[in-house]
Amino acid sequence: ESNKVWQGRLSGGSAKEVDVFNSSISFDYVLFEEDIQGSQAHARMLGKQAIISTEDASLIVEGLESILMDLKTGALLFDPTAEDIHMFVESELTERIGEAGKRLHTGRSRNDQVALDLRLYVKKKITEISQQLLEFEAVLTRKAEQHLYTIMPGYTHMQIAQPVTFAHHLMAYAQMIKRDCKRLEEVVEHTDAMPLGNGALAGTTYPLDRQYVAEQLGFGSVTANSLDGVSDRDFVIDAAYALSMVMMHLSRLSEEVITWCSQEFKFVKLDDAFATGSSIMPQKKNPDVAELVRGKTGRAYGNLQTLLTMMKGIPLAYNKDMQEDKEALFDSISTVKLALSAMIPMIDTMEAQTGRMREAASKGFINATDCADYLTKKGVPFREAYNVIGTLVQTCIETDQTLEEVSLETYQSLHELFEEDIYEAIDLENCVTKRNIEGGPAPEAVKKQIDQLKNSLDLP
């Protein structure tokens, strides 16, 4: 049994099992800074509006500041038996400053308080992740600049398709990350409304200055409807979705890195600092980082599912179910931060095996489309040209030849329009350089892509 601030209504104390089950401090303690900043802004406003005395307001602000300092230095420890971070801070405040501490919660409910804390937290963490993503874009772009001319096979269905460059491939991921940044910006926009003043659900009779609180805390607006304001977790789900998308992109790249590291591909070499060994097989160099990123993607998806499901049956307004929003959100945030912090330097230090890429690109009739295009450009309808080259490839497979190795006589026996310049047309460097369409793999086009991205990022 224990005593709670809300014990007045209930007879006797709550059961120990209920306290344990109900308590959220074991995970919501991470909100302590946001909780204290929010309370300080609220107290200043209560003082300004003469709802409490300015002396009490100052005492509260200073008392909260000392709690913040002590929590940061470790001089004050979180009480694991507290119900949640909000109750913990409030009771610690009252212990430190007495009477005045009991006035902090005037015109406020934990329902609008927790909504505020969570919004502050999401804005801060999502902005931190955006910074990491910008760094990742810079790393991908820098690497791409070094490989404008590094030819590698492009695949569809994991079958060799057409030649591209390593730069083009890396920039594809830079574009994904750029969109991720935009999505995170939008998450911050959706989160940028201040909920204090919503009270428990029906606002309050006190003349609170909501705008003043919003300004102090850096919010662009205040929430428009008190019932919605205390029970809206869309911004949490938006964050979980945007973070899932980040993980999905990181996971795709991880999958490629894992493939590229294999003995069969050998397209890249990981720095030893970003690889691991085996406890039994002495020859192993494993891409654990990439595998873990791929594996942890499941957590992000699971968290999104958790949140959507948790919210779907909740009537207005606050219900305790919503306490379950935190672990899912926190886990998605820490998973993405951790994944990026390992993945960015891994990609940065990864070495392209350009010879191997080029070798792989020369197999699998990667220039067959260009061969067909050669005839088409001489007036042969594409479908007809396609059939001619199809037959040619069939023959090449039987004779174990590449398109470059086929004699001009053979070419001409298939179509009279083939001339000596066919070899130029199917030369891989030419195949890539001539794909100079906007968004294409030609070095010139990729350079433009890189410059545009760098401009949008303000990168040197």
Check if the beta carbon of residue 268 is closer than 8 Å to that of residue 353: yes
Please give the structure tokens belonging to residue 290: 């990439």
Q: Nearest distance from residue 117's CB to ligand ARG, in Å?
A: 9
Task: Tell me, letter by letter, the H, E, C secondary structure of 7-51.
Answer: HHHCCCCCCHHHHHHHCCHHHHHHHHHHHHHHHHHHHHHHHHCCC
Q: Nearest distance from residue 17's CB to ligand ARG, in Å?
A: 17
Q: Nearest distance from residue 205's CB to ligand ARG, in Å?
A: 19
When the beta carbons of 235 and 267 are compared against ligand ARG, the nearer one is 235
When the beta carbons of 286 and 323 are compared against ligand ARG, the nearer one is 323
Please give the structure tokens belonging to residue 260: 């590229």
Check if the beta carbon of residue 43 is closer than 8 Å to that of residue 49: no
Q: Nearest distance from residue 85's CB to ligand ARG, in Å?
A: 8
When the beta carbons of 229 and 441 are compared against ligand ARG, the nearer one is 229
Q: Nearest distance from residue 246's CB to ligand ARG, in Å?
A: 25
Q: Nearest distance from residue 226's CB to ligand ARG, in Å?
A: 14
When the beta carbons of 50 and 316 are compared against ligand ARG, the nearer one is 316
When the beta carbons of 323 and 349 are compared against ligand ARG, the nearer one is 323
φ, ψ of residue 298 in degrees (nearest 5): -60, -35
Which ranges of 192-223 would DSSP assign to H, the alpha helix? 210-217
Q: Is 169 a catalytic residue?
A: no
Q: Which residue in 11, 157, 279, 407 is the catalytic one?
A: 157
d(C-alpha 91, C-alpha 98), whole Å: 10
Check if the beta carbon of residue 357 is closer than 8 Å to that of residue 152: yes
Name every residue whose Cβ is closer than 8 Å to that of residue 330 and which is 6 or more positions away in sequence.
27, 30
Binding site for ligand ARG (CB under 6 A): 24, 28, 84, 110-111, 114, 318, 320, 322-323
d(C-alpha 157, C-alpha 192), whole Å: 43
When the beta carbons of 84 and 331 are compared against ligand ARG, the nearer one is 84
Q: Nearest distance from residue 4's CB to ligand ARG, in Å?
A: 11
When the beta carbons of 4 and 142 are compared against ligand ARG, the nearer one is 4
3-state percent breakdown (helix, strand, coil) of the chain, nearest 5: 65, 5, 30
Check if the beta carbon of residue 274 is closer than 8 Å to that of residue 346: yes
Q: Which residue in 26, 53, 278, 456 is the catalytic one?
A: 278
Residue whose entry in the numeric block shows the structure tokens 């940028």 = 192
d(C-alpha 19, C-alpha 40), whole Å: 28
Check if the beta carbon of residue 33 is closer than 8 Å to that of residue 68: yes
When the beta carbons of 288 and 327 are compared against ligand ARG, the nearer one is 327
- Provide the β-strand partners of residue 194: 222
Q: 443 to each of 271, 348, 369, 430, how far by Cα in Å?
A: 27, 21, 19, 11
Check if the beta carbon of residue 350 is closer than 8 Å to that of residue 287: no
d(C-alpha 388, C-alpha 427), whole Å: 19
Please give the structure tokens belonging to residue 5: 């601030």
Q: Is 157 a catalytic residue?
A: yes
Q: Nearest distance from residue 111's CB to ligand ARG, in Å?
A: 5
Dihedral angle at the C-alpha atoms of 216, 218, 223, 226, nearest 10 degrees?
-40
Residues recognised as catalytic: 157, 278
